[in-house]
Amino acid sequence: MEDRERRSYKSFTEVKATLTPAEERFERYRNTIGLFLGPLVALIIYWIPMPGLSPKAHTLAAIIGWIVTWWVTEPIPIPMSALIGAVLCVVFDVADDQCRRRCIPSGMVLCRPRSMQVVYGITAWRPACRPSAMQA
């Protein structure tokens, strides 16, 4: 049981009880700075001339810069920042209409995180290593 608990993802609120005051202060600064640094990184990437990229690819690079910055600094939960990245791609017309019709309404965007939870649950419990699984 300890092995599974050690490997599971814990949010900041769950970990907060184990942090020292200095670590809490660092996390608060990191989150606050990241909240403003993400859009700033996106603007800087957008303003840098990249002649080898199409305008849509350039916009996508700026969005990716924003989202990666938020993933590192975690001002909001990681799944929410991924969702914001997908929404920004639609708002800034990065994907063409055919891709949007094929990907967004299909439900695959919502199925992937759930399927990854199932895979994680299976690997965390390691059913192949249990004696009952070996007898069958």
Distances (CA, A) of 68 to 2, 42, 58, 79: 31, 10, 15, 12
Per-residue confidence band for 40, with pLDDT thresholds at 50, 70 and 90: very high
Pick 16 or 32 by higher pLDDT. 32
Distance CA 66, CA 68 (A): 6
Each residue of 60-93: pLDDT tens digit? 999 999 999 999 998 988 888 888 888 888 888 8
What was the pLDDT predicted at 20?
A: 85
Q: What is the pTM of this model?
A: 0.64
Q: What is the pLDDT of residues 49-65, one digit of tens each?
A: 999 989 999 999 999 99
The per-residue DSSP string of 39-70 comes to HHHHHHHHHS--TTS-HHHHHHHHHHHHHHHH
pLDDT band at 133 (very low <50, low <70, confident <90, very high): very low
- Give the CA count within 13 Å in the CB-facing half-sphere of 110: 4
pLDDT tens digits for range 115-126 = 555 555 555 555
Given the structure tokens 């017309």, which residue do they identify? 93
